[in-house]
Amino acid sequence: MTRFYRRQGSILAKIGLLSDAHGRGRITATAAELLVQEGARRLIYLGDVGSPEVIDALLVEHPDKPGQTIPVNLVFGNVDWDVADLTRYAKELGIQVDHPVGRMEFDDGSAMVYFHGDQSSAFDGPLHEQVRYLCHGHTHMVKDDRVGKTRIINPGALHRASSYTVALLDTQTDQLTFFPIDKSC
């Protein structure tokens, strides 16, 4: 049975989605900082961390709360062989590890489910439940589809992709914006 981690209450409107850095800390830092500059007030990393440097790069100062960082939720992916060590490290830094599947519930009763996406069976439950958002990584390809009431989002990747991208989701307006990230970072 899949365990869901629940967050009750409202979630800030803009959520930054990023995935598949495969150990590339510098490009992850660039991507995370861009998302926060564009208004993200929470980051969700969708797997294939690859190194502690990527976890470090997710810690971006909160623009409205000096001395604090933006909240981060994280799941691991199929290239993360050292999940126990990476989990311990992320938790020491205050990052919420929701591996293998995370779930956030909104005040209106809708939900977001997120995972890496390397196990196709993980899609079945959230699609059957018709959650509002299902976010995943793994394929290294941008995706914005709807299946029934569920919006399926993949922000793309920060490694091994024709173009590197991240996404910003405004949960109040349902607007999704993809941002390119310079490969030279």
Instruction: Indicate the domain borders of the chain.
Output: 14-180
Model pTM above 0.85: yes
Tokens 């990393």 sit on residue: 45
- Whole-number pLDDT of residue 12: 61
Does the pLDDT value for residue 3 go beyond 70?
Answer: no
Lowest mean pLDDT among 49-53, 121-125, 165-169: 121-125
Does the pLDDT value for residue 2 go beyond 50?
Answer: no
Quote the tokens at residue 99: 């591996």
C-beta separation of 83 from 73 below 8 A: no
14-180: in CATH 3.40.250.10? no
- Whole-number pLDDT of residue 1: 23
Does the pLDDT value for residue 6 go beyond 60?
Answer: no
pLDDT band at 4 (very low <50, low <70, confident <90, very high): very low
**Chain segment 66-116, per-residue pLDDT in tens:** 999 999 999 999 999 999 999 999 999 999 999 999 999 988 889 999 999
**Chain segment 20-39, per-residue pLDDT in tens:** 999 999 999 999 999 999 99
Per-residue three-class SS string for 85-131? HHHHHHHHCCCEECCCEEEEECCCCCEEEEECCCCHHHHHHHHHHCC
- The amino acid at residue 63 is P
Q: Give the residue-averaged pLDDT of 162-170.
A: 98
**Chain segment 35-70, per-residue pLDDT in tens:** 999 999 999 999 999 999 999 999 999 999 999 999
